[in-house]
Structure 1
Amino acid sequence: MKSKIITLATAALFVVSCGTQKAAPVAAAEPAAPTATETAKAVTLTPELAEGQNLYENNCAKCHKLFEPKKFTREEWTPILVRMGKKAHLDAAQMTSITNYINSQL
């Protein structure tokens, strides 16, 4: 009887852990206005940089949390992007787009 309960509990835990991906939290109706410092630091994204940001957020977040671009220097980002680009099977154009986005945020 104990083994049936343990097996059932293990199966239930497995099913729950393999469930669908959680949805992102919904933003508040009125987002807080950016401070003067944030506005000064914000870089206007061109369509090319916006595409790089989109690729970065959608491809990199599949496997791990996203790091703020300023967390690492340009020299530190280079090998990280090369290694992760290979793991994510990104082509050269996608890698260039992501690299340009990261570099624009530094």
Structure 2
Amino acid sequence: MKSKILALTAVTLLLVSCGTKKAPAAPAEPAAPAVTEAAKPTELTPELAEGKNLYENSCARCHKLYEPKKFTQEEWKPILISMQKKAKLDDVKMASITNYIHSQL
């Protein structure tokens, strides 16, 4: 009796596990990606890539990174000045970060 129950349970589990696969729902109409001027990523030169790298590695050590577009160029200026002192960045590195931020606005 026990062997029949175990066999029946095993067969049931096998059928249930094979029968519960769901196919992904296909979208009714494929949406074409809308690419606008604002959505296009800015091509980074080696200098801007270095600024991005410095921004990501120097600033993210202490806090989350903000999107450059979150602030205007005028709002970024005092932020970058105060962060330069805290991050102990020289003027060359800070200029690189500033150029990167301004290129993304």
Instruction: Check if 1:87 corresponds to 2:47.
Output: no
Residue 102 of structure 2: aligned partner: 103
CA distance in 1, matches of 2:46, 2:104: 15
Letter in 2 for 1:77: W
Which secondary structure does the structure 2 equivalent of 1:64 belong to? Answer: coil
- Once the two structures are superposed, residues 23-72 of structure 1 have per-residue CA deviations (whole angstroms, 9 ceiling, x without a partner) of xxxxxxxxxxx852488431000000000000000000000000000000
RMSD: 1.8
CA distance in 1, matches of 2:76, 2:38: 24
Residue 78 of structure 1: aligned partner: 77
Q: Which consecutive residues of structure 2, in runs of 5 or more, have no partner in the other structure?
A: 1-32
Larger Rg computed on CA atoms: 2
Letter in 2 for 1:53: K
Matched residue pairs, number?
73
CA distance in 1, matches of 2:76, 2:50: 18
TM-score (norm 1): 0.64
Q: CA deviation at 1:102?
A: 0.1
